[in-house]
């Protein structure tokens, strides 16, 4: 009798877990439906739009681009996720990666070091830049109680101004060139440029008949992303520091009684988040353009917020959420290229898709939670 | 963790389902394309971030496409305005969302899709274009405002640049003729060799036509700053222009991007205070833009814009496409000056009557520059050696 009941509960629990697991996928499908309705309103045939997205995104080059362009998004998502785990809202990833990228660019352009060490120094410089930019807001929070959202937003503004000043001033790489419009630092020394991993990666994916084209960035930043994701997963779920971070994030007052130094933990969390954030721009600086410019891709920090939200702050989940967001960008270009959806609406469409994914996912999870509560009530 | 593995499996299943379901519709779409006879030429264009509607660069490039469509019986694919004059030339434009690999991705997509000539609008396309042009030797590429070293006439890239000193010379001459106080001003954005070409041309034009401006102190000039921010600092622009007007200048030319709004504001305020002062705009026909505004304040400001030094991105796009389709492709660097109609000064319905008295003289100067009788200086150093009549 009891066994039977237990079994019933187990099967039900499995069903809940399945529902929770697929909720992002259902959210994604829902988003696609929303997208097609919008497209239909514009006067383009939804099947045409879907065909365009799929043929453009799931071609060999399309998949390669999606994976490659997800690298900065994944790193940014990880930076946001660790902050969220520790109960911090680090909206300053944007400024942290901008400054980190500048530091990396400067370290790569001005230092003279042998290859492996130089690359390591570039990576460390990026991390240091990100940490430096996270330092002031967290000190303000820990010692003066200034909310980190205010502190980090302020630092975002300062970052764009400081970066512009530094690239115009001491680190200008285009002064004296008559007709160069692009404000940038000098080119990185060849010793600092990230090595390409095409050969290694293609020798593995070649087994499945897939090759990354040489124009898609397959570089050392992939290794960075993988190390960040796996390292963060171990840190959060398998280390005592991770346990403290999660305690503070879930219930600060209870963790005081458990003997956790809240200030220290908050500080450490923010430093980890800042260090990861400093790595976001490295693919662009150290591999794609090989210099730092204030015109570097913007907004990755904010994309990372949505990625972390969708991944429920799980580092492994961040990978899939990052791939999804990268896919949305590529899908947007597919729409631009092969349908008559106006460009101005495509940004709105990907915004709507992001929103639908996140909202649908949240609704479904809440629904499962209510079901669980009901069940508990019944059993009692 | 279990949740995620389950999630992934379901995701893969879902994707494969969707994929399977869509192949049929996709095939239909392809068949539809093949049924109609293809266009003779396919010309693609990638805007810079900001895209259509910026009332400047990108919009001007778009006008170039419209002109191509008109003259060569073409159509702009997927265009909301439905520009369609025939099927001989297919035109298509794209717009990047971010930096990184996005620009290269779009150029490459167009090249892979068989576009014969591809434009990139803005210097940010420099590196992406070099990469893509290498992989598609039979496709032609053109970059507006970019400079790429090592190109020859057989290269498949052409850089389209503009002789801003020549248009500045003409508006300088207009200012020289029209000034009543015999004192005029110039507000530059970021101090750099590029922006100096505007200054040198403007001063040369003013001095050429008005001997009184040759005495020092009558040609006021000042830069807003030494950083890129100088192009978006209207407050400083206003401050400098106001001080020029207080010193007795009555015409101020600006080459300072968005800071120019402050110059116009200062001009309008000085005008309201009873001074007969004018401003000169830059790059696009700013007088027309302000006058066409629905905002009454902007309209009023538009009334004090004498003319603008124009940079005709549309002409550069049109001419490059024309030469390509006529089989006269030339790689390398191509400068658009007065001769090529690539720069000029703005005459519109609002300032036509204002400029009536000087227009013949300006046209004459323009002819002289085109003939090579006047060589407009491109820097302050060249200005010092400039031959005045």
Tens digits of residue pLDDT in A29-47: 888 888 888 888 888 888 8
- Determine, yes or no, domain membership for A105: yes
A&B contacts, CB < 8 Å: 142
Structure confidence at residue B16 (pLDDT): 45
Contact B98 A298 (CB under 8 A): yes
Mutation to test the A interface, candidates B61, B79, B101, most A Cβ within 10 Å? B101
Q: What is the CA radius of gyration of chain B?
A: 24
In the structure encoding, which two tokens stand for residue A293, read together? 């410019």
Q: Which residue of chain B is at minimal alpha-carbon distance from A57?
A: B19
What does the alpha-carbon distance between residue A96 and residue A78 come to, in Å, rounded to a whole number?
13
- Determine, yes or no, domain membership for A310: no
Q: What is the CA radius of gyration of chain A?
A: 23
Structure confidence at residue B3 (pLDDT): 52
Assess contact for A11 and A3: CB atoms under 8 A.
Answer: no
Nearest by CB to B108, from A183, A215, A344: name it.
A215
Tens digits of residue pLDDT in B341-385: 999 999 999 999 999 999 999 999 999 999 999 999 988 889 998
Assess contact for A104 and A289: CB atoms under 8 A.
Answer: no
A198: CB partners within 8 A, 6+ apart:
A212, A214, A218
The mean predicted confidence, pLDDT, of chain B is 86
Let me know if the fold of B41-146 is the same as that of B164-310+343-384: yes
Contact B123 A180 (CB under 8 A): yes
Phi-psi region of B86 (alpha: psi -120 to 50; beta: other; left: phi over 0): left
Mutation to test the A interface, candidates B109, B112, B125, B143, most A Cβ within 10 Å? B109
Structure confidence at residue B27 (pLDDT): 39
> Hey, how many other C-beta atoms are within 10 angstroms of the C-beta on B303?
15
- Determine, yes or no, domain membership for A59: no
Q: Which residue of chain B is at minimal alpha-carbon distance from A58?
A: B19
Structure confidence at residue A39 (pLDDT): 86
Q: B138-169: buried (b, 16+ CB within 10 Å) or exposed (e) per residue?
A: ebbbbbbbbbbeebeeebbbbbbbbbbbbbbb
Token pair 């700053």 is found at: B225
User: Among the CATH numbers 3.40.1280.10, 3.40.50.2300, 3.40.50.11810, 3.30.70.1520, which is that of B41-146?
Assistant: 3.40.50.2300
Task: Tell which residue, B199, B172, B200, has the closest CA to residue B307.
Answer: B172
Cα first-last separation, chain A: 16
pLDDT category at A21 given cuts 50, 70, 90 is confident
Q: Which residue of chain A is at minimal alpha-carbon distance from B110?
A: A337
Tens digits of residue pLDDT in B2-14: 555 555 545 544 5
Assess contact for B379 and B193: CB atoms under 8 A.
Answer: yes
Task: Tell which residue, B209, B120, B194, has the closest CA to residue B159.
Answer: B120
pLDDT category at A8 given cuts 50, 70, 90 is low
Structure confidence at residue B20 (pLDDT): 40
| Torsion angle defined by CA atoms of residues B144, B290, B277 and B176, in that order, rounded to the nearest 10 degrees | 30
Averaged over A101-111, what is the pLDDT? Answer: 95
- Per-residue pLDDT 10s for chain B (389 aa) are 455 555 554 554 454 444 444 433 433 333 334 445 688 999 999 988 767 766 677 888 999 999 999 999 999 988 888 889 988 999 999 988 877 788 999 999 999 999 999 999 888 888 899 999 999 999 999 999 888 888 888 899 999 999 999 999 999 999 999 999 999 999 998 887 888 899 999 999 999 999 999 988 899 999 998 766 777 788 999 999 999 999 999 999 999 888 899 999 999 999 999 999 999 999 888 898 899 888 899 899 999 999 999 999 999 999 999 999 999 999 999 999 999 999 999 999 999 999 999 999 999 999 999 999 999 998 888 999 888 88
Task: Tell which residue, B240, B158, B145, has the closest CA to residue B191.
Answer: B240
Averaged over A334-354, what is the pLDDT? Answer: 79
The mean predicted confidence, pLDDT, of chain A is 88
Q: Sheet of B219-225: strands edge to edge? A: B219-225, B184-190, B251-255, B278-283, B305-311, B343-345
Q: Residues of A numbered 188-247 whose beta carbons fall under 8 angstroms of chain B's beta carbons: which are they?
A: 215-217
What does the alpha-carbon distance between residue B345 and residue B362 come to, in Å, rounded to a whole number?
10
Token pair 């007969």 is found at: B276
Domain range list for chain B: 41-146, 164-310+343-384
Structure confidence at residue A335 (pLDDT): 87
In the structure encoding, which two tokens stand for residue A201, read together? 């990666």
Contact B10 A22 (CB under 8 A): yes
Nearest by CB to B10, from A25, A48, A165: name it.
A25
Tens digits of residue pLDDT in A201-223: 999 998 888 999 989 999 999 99
Q: Sheet of B157-162: strands edge to edge? A: B74-76, B89-94, B41-46, B117-121, B140-144, B157-162, B332-336
Averaged over A183-206, what is the pLDDT? Answer: 91
Assess contact for B331 and B158: CB atoms under 8 A.
Answer: yes
Structure confidence at residue B23 (pLDDT): 39
| ipTM exceeding the 0.90 mark | no
What does the alpha-carbon distance between residue B238 and residue B247 come to, in Å, rounded to a whole number?
14
What does the alpha-carbon distance between residue B389 and residue B222 come to, in Å, rounded to a whole number?
26
CATH fourth-level superfamily of B164-310+343-384? Response regulator (3.40.50.2300)
Report residue A379 CA to chain centroid gap. Answer: 41
In chain A, what are the helix, strand and coil shares in percent, each to the nearest 5? 75, 0, 25
What does the alpha-carbon distance between residue B64 and residue B166 come to, in Å, rounded to a whole number?
21
Structure confidence at residue A141 (pLDDT): 94
A80/B contact by beta carbon, under 8 A: no
Structure confidence at residue B293 (pLDDT): 85
* Most confident among A4-8, A343-347, B34-38 (mean pLDDT): A343-347
What does the alpha-carbon distance between residue B222 and residue B236 come to, in Å, rounded to a whole number?
11
In the structure encoding, which two tokens stand for residue A120, read together? 């390591």
CA dihedral for A318, A321, A327, A328, sign (positive or negative): negative
The number of distinct structural domains making up chain A is 1
A294/B contact by beta carbon, under 8 A: yes
Tens digits of residue pLDDT in A53-99: 889 999 989 999 999 999 999 999 999 999 999 999 999 999 999 99
**What range defines the domain where residue A171 resides?**
69-300
SS3 B253: strand
Contact A51 B19 (CB under 8 A): no
Q: Using a CB-CB distance cutoff of 8 angstroms, which residues of chain B are in contact with residue A183? A: 228
Q: Using a CB-CB distance cutoff of 8 angstroms, which residues of chain A are in contact with residue B14? A: 25, 28-29
């Amino acid at each position: 009798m009891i066994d039977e009941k237990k079994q019933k509960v187990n099967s039900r629990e499995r069903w809940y877990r399945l529902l929770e697991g697929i909720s992002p996928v259902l959210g994604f499908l829902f988003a696609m439906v929303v997208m097609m309705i919008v497209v239909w309103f514009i006067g383009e045939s939804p099947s045409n739009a879907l065909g365009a997205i799929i043929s453009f995104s799931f071609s060999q080059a399309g998949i390669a681009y999606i994976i490659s362009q997800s690298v900065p998004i994944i790193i940014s998502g990880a930076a946001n996720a660790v902050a969220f785990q520790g109960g911090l809202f680090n909206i300053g990833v944007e400024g942290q990666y901008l400054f980190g990228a500048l530091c990396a660019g400067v370290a790569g352009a001005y230092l003279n070091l042998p290859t492996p060490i130089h690359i390591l120094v570039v990576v460390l410089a990026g991390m240091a830049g990100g940490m430096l930019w996270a330092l002031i807001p967290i000190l303000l929070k820990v010692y003066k109680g200034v909310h980190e959202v205010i502190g980090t937003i302020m630092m975002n503004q300062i970052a764009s101004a400081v970066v512009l000043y530094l690239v115009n001033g001491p680190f200008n790489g285009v002064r004296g060139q008559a007709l160069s419009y692009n404000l940038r630092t000098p080119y990185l020394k060849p010793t600092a440029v990230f090595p390409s991993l095409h050969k290694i990666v293609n020798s593995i994916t070649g087994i499945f008949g897939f090759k990354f084209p040489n124009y898609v960035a397959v570089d050392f930043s992939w290794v960075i992303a993988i190390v960040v994701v796996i390292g963060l997963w171990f840190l959060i779920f398998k280390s005592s520091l991770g346990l403290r971070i999660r305690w503070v994030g879930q219930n600060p007052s209870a963790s005081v009684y458990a003997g956790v130094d809240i200030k220290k933990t908050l500080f450490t969390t923010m430093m980890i988040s800042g260090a990861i954030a400093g790595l976001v721009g490295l693919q662009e600086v150290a591999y794609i353009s090989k210099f730092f410019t204030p015109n570097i891709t913007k907004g990755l920090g904010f994309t990372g917020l949505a990625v972390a939200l969708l991944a429920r702050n799980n580092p492994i989940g961040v990978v899939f959420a990052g791939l999804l967001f990268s896919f949305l960008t590529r899908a947007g270009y597919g729409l631009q290229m092969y349908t008559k959806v106006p460009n101005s609406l495509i940004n709105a469409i990907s915004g709507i898709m992001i929103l639908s994914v996140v909202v649908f996912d949240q609704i479904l999870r809440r629904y499962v939670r209510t079901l669980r509560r009901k069940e508990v009530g019944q059993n009692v | 963790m279990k949740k995620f593995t389950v999630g992934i499996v379901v995701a893969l299943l879902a994707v494969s389902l969707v994929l399977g379901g869509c192949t049929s519709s996709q095939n239909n779409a392809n068949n539809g394309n093949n049924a109609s006879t293809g266009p003779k030429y396919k010309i693609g264009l990638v805007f810079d971030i900001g895209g259509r509607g910026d009332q400047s660069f990108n919009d001007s490039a778009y006008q170039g496409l419209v002109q191509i469509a008109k003259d060569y019986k073409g159509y702009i694919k997927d265009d909301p305005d439905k520009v369609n004059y025939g099927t001989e030339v297919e035109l298509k434009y794209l717009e990047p969302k971010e930096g990184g690999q996005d620009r290269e991705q779009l150029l490459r997509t167009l090249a892979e899709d068989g576009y014969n000539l591809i434009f990139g609008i803005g210097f940010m396309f420099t590196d992406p274009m070099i990469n893509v042009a290498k992989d598609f030797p039979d496709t032609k590429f053109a970059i507006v405002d970019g400079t790429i070293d090592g190109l020859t006439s057989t290269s498949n890239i052409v850089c389209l640049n503009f002789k801003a000193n020549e248009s500045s010379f003409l508006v300088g001459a207009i200012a020289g003729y029209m000034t009543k106080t015999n004192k005029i001003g110039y507000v530059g954005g970021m101090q750099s060799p590029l922006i100096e070409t505007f200054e040198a041309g403007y001063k040369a034009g003013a001095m050429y036509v008005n001997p009184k401006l040759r005495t020092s102190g009558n040609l006021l000039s000042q830069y807003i700053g030494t950083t890129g921010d100088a192009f978006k600092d209207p407050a400083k622009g206003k401050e400098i222009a106001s001080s020029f007007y207080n010193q007795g200048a009555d015409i101020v030319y600006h080459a300072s991007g968005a800071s120019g709004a402050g110059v116009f504001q200062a001009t309008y305020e000085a005008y309201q205070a009873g001074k007969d002062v004018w401003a000169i705009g830059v790059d696009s026909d700013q007088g027309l833009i302000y006058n066409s505004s629905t905002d009454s304040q902007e309209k009023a400001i538009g009334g004090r814009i004498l003319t603008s030094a124009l940079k005709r991105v549309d002409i550069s796009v049109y001419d490059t496409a024309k030469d390509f389709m006529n089989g006269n492709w030339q790689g390398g660097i191509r400068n658009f000056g007065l001769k090529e109609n690539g720069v000029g000064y703005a005459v519109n319905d609002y300032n036509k009557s204002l400029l009536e008295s000087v227009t013949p003289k300006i046209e004459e100067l323009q002819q002289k520059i085109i003939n090579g009788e006047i060589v407009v200086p491109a820097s302050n150093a060249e200005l010092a050696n400039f031959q005045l009549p």
